[in-house]
Structure 1
């Protein structure tokens, strides 16, 4: 199986390559930009599988497919384009949320292997995905949640949620009044439901609301620590792989 990685952050590309090696998959090529990728596809036999980052240093990776007809299977990787993930699911294309979890990676590879024997081309409607990327604010996102409090249902406005977090296999909403509510959902489901201009997934455990960030301080290993207005039950650390995108999101 011929596999390539298209990723503009070299440390992330190397880490993904190492994770694939553990699964017995050797990455043959790593590409870092739209321009480099187009030239490579023009000069080389196309791979069986591509691990594709969405936003590269010189543009969106979809520009590669505007220039080249690529028939390879694709597994998307993304750091914060949660609003596009629903489109990937609808088109039966897998995705991996950075930092990539080894179990998620193994499941994605297994899904590819199951699809491969059918010899069916895995089609992606890039135009639809690009529309979501260019106009994310035109989508309707979840504005409220219902939670059970005893025998009652309580309505929580999304704007009042300081953060969403996972703990002991449960998903919670921490609100501005200092309460924590158990939700009947997962952080993965929230990826397509939260407005990306308001909420950012800073780690595998936390989504934070930009309107409730009180302070951001430097932390060990080039990470950042977030302090919210009320929630202080646990430290909220921006993982090193997401620091760059987090800073862009803040702007």
Structure 2
């Protein structure tokens, strides 16, 4: 029987993943919630065949576990990091599950592990740690956008943009000046073209600039409300599943 562990600091997320694995006839040996707890467990127990590993734990990046422990266990990452990191996982023959985890994607990851068990543990942790700790150095991000204003094209510098938002199936730039301009780029594409140190997608409708945040207020159901200058289109609410990663982004 395949020995599996989960390393995830959000206990509800860990329990949800455990239930999903149980539905795939996989028993989880144990659930660990921090770097320190994982290091202690690895030093005192036989290593598993497979681990599901969250990247950001309460006491540091999960890669720090392997500064203290040598293991041949295969790894499937569970992550909320942007595409620049996900590409690195692919290059290193590591599978990943983007939170919130989808049932079909979990099943596919398990099949990949079973088909390539020998390769799944071959990772370059130093390269991944460097990439995750220094986002923005691997890619050139957009510095300006073109917006249509009547019969004219207007150049808008990224430094002048407070946020991007979608409404009625259209995407808009919202500037610090309070002006809105339509652009022909969906938010999904914008996420890959903006520097993740400065811009964050708080929900399905908005990507905001960290320099535009006026206030952050607790909201219902463990969510957060963001206040921006001159923005009155709708409430800017950080979705619950993104709150933890949003706080990490604020402090990076």
Shift of 1:205: 4.7
Q: Does the 8 Å CA contact 2:55/2:78 hold for their aligned counterparts?
A: yes
Q: Distance in 2 between matches of 1:173 and 1:24?
A: 46
Partner of 1:180: 182
Q: Secondary structure at the match of 2:203?
A: coil
Q: Distance in 2 between matches of 1:23 and 1:165?
A: 38
Partner of 2:19: 18
In the TM superposition, what whole-angstrom CA distance separates every residue of 1:62-107 from its partner, at most 9, and x where no partner exists? 1222332322322222345665333223324233343x142xx522
Shift of 1:30: 0.6
Partner of 2:45: 44
Q: Distance in 2 between matches of 1:171 and 1:7?
A: 37
Q: Does the 8 Å CA contact 1:81/1:133 hold for their aligned counterparts?
A: no
Aligned residues: 245
Shift of 1:198: 0.8
Partner of 1:28: 29
Shift of 1:207: 2.5
Change beyond 3 A, Cα 1:223–1:110: same
Q: Distance in 2 between matches of 1:152 and 1:89?
A: 42
Change beyond 3 A, Cα 1:20–1:182: farther
Partner of 1:117: 115
Q: Distance in 1 between matches of 2:125 and 2:118?
A: 18
Shift of 1:51: 1.6
In the TM superposition, what whole-angstrom CA distance separates every residue of 1:20-63 from its partner, at most 9, and x where no partner exists? 44555443311012222123223333333322112222332112
Please state if 1:237 is matched with 2:237: yes
Which is greater in Rg? 2
Shift of 1:110: 0.5
Shift of 1:171: 7.8
Point out which structure has higher relative CO (alpha carbons under 8 A, 6+ apart).
1
In the TM superposition, what whole-angstrom CA distance separates every residue of 1:117-146 from its partner, at most 9, and x where no partner exists? 244312221111111233335444412365
Change beyond 3 A, Cα 1:65–1:239: same
Q: Does the 8 Å CA contact 2:162/2:208 hold for their aligned counterparts?
A: yes
Q: Secondary structure at the match of 1:142?
A: coil
Q: Distance in 1 between matches of 2:248 and 2:42?
A: 30
Q: Distance in 2 between matches of 1:24 and 1:164?
A: 43
Change beyond 3 A, Cα 1:145–1:107: farther
Q: Does the 8 Å CA contact 2:165/2:187 hold for their aligned counterparts?
A: no
Q: Does the 8 Å CA contact 2:96/2:109 hold for their aligned counterparts?
A: no
Q: Could you list the runs of 5+ residues in structure 1 that have no partner in the other structure? A: none
In the TM superposition, what whole-angstrom CA distance separates every residue of 1:180-223 from its partner, at most 9, and x where no partner exists? 3231x662x55554323211232355332112223332211121
Shift of 1:8: 1.8
Partner of 2:95: 94
Q: Distance in 1 between matches of 2:164 and 2:96?
A: 21
Q: TM-score if structure 2 supplies the norm length? A: 0.77
